[in-house]
Amino acid sequence: MSILSIDTRRANAEDAFGISGVHDASWKQAYTGLIPHKALQTMIRRRDPKWWERAISHSTRILVLESMGQIVGYATLGSNRVATLPQQGEIYELYLLPEYQGIGLGKRLFLAARKELAALNLKGCVVWVLEENDPAVAFYLNAGGTEIAEGNETFSGKTLQKKAFAWN
Ligand SMILES: CC(C)(COP(=O)(O)OP(=O)(O)OC[C@H]1O[C@@H](n2cnc3c(N)ncnc32)[C@H](O)[C@@H]1OP(=O)(O)O)[C@@H](O)C(=O)NCCC(=O)NCCS
């Protein structure tokens, strides 16, 4: 019997390549057919390992999920970007490789990100999700999030609705 050992920890410079790979695969899976092809390609190309290396060395908090030396998920977090919302923290991104989804690891990374926000003394947490990203919406509802705001974002001329879930 093989045992899948999974570790959640803060990212370091050596993780840039692995995070970039998770970003590429998970964004393609989540957003193909939703975000226009060209805009999606541009966003993915921009987030190359160099981009992640800079993000890790700057102030962005990044957590990774590591399995047997491979980065299989990441989360980025920090201060809430929308001043009108009372929650102080925000999880900006939470993404897992497709083959590692649906086995409890998203929940584990989400809880680790919440813990990290608390350690930063940021009270409450917000997550923005594209409304048509059904699996993610279901995940955050299941995690006890309350829908508190709506917005939209335009990608290559296509406007998509998004909503914010909050935890206090
Ligand atoms: C969204 C995502 C992070 C969730 O992680 P995951 O590992 O697949 O989810 P988990 O296996 O940890 O599920 C945790 C709980 O949510 C529930 N859940 C997960 N996906 C669900 C879905 N599509 N529908 C209903 N419930 C769901 C699980 O049943 C589980 O419930 P439980 O705790 O009561 O047993 C992951 O699927 C992912 O990376 N998706 C693509 C990228 C994405 O859309 N990210 C979010 C952008 S804002």
Q: Which residue has the tokens 């350690």?
A: 119
Q: Whose CA is nearest to atom 44 of ligand 1?
A: 136
Question: Distance, CA 50 to ligand 1 centroid (Å)?
Answer: 29
Does the pLDDT at position 3 exceed 70? no
CA atoms of 27 and 44, how far apart (whole Å): 8
Total tally of structural domains belonging to the chain: 1
**Any atom of ligand 1 within 6 Å of the Cβ of 104:** yes
Predicted pLDDT at 60: 77
In a domain, 52, yes or no: yes
| Domain CATH for 109 | 3.40.630.30
Q: pLDDT tens for residues 124-158?
A: 999 999 999 999 999 999 999 999 999 999 999 99
In a domain, 1, yes or no: no
- pTM listed for this prediction: 0.95
Q: What percentage of the chain exceeds 90 in pLDDT?
A: 95
Does the pLDDT at position 81 exceed 70? yes
Question: Distance, CA 143 to ligand 1 centroid (Å)?
Answer: 9
In a domain, 100, yes or no: yes
Cβ–Cβ under 8 Å, residues 101 and 86: no
Question: Distance, CA 131 to ligand 1 centroid (Å)?
Answer: 15
Question: Distance, CA 114 to ligand 1 centroid (Å)?
Answer: 16
Q: What is the DSSP letter of 165?
A: E
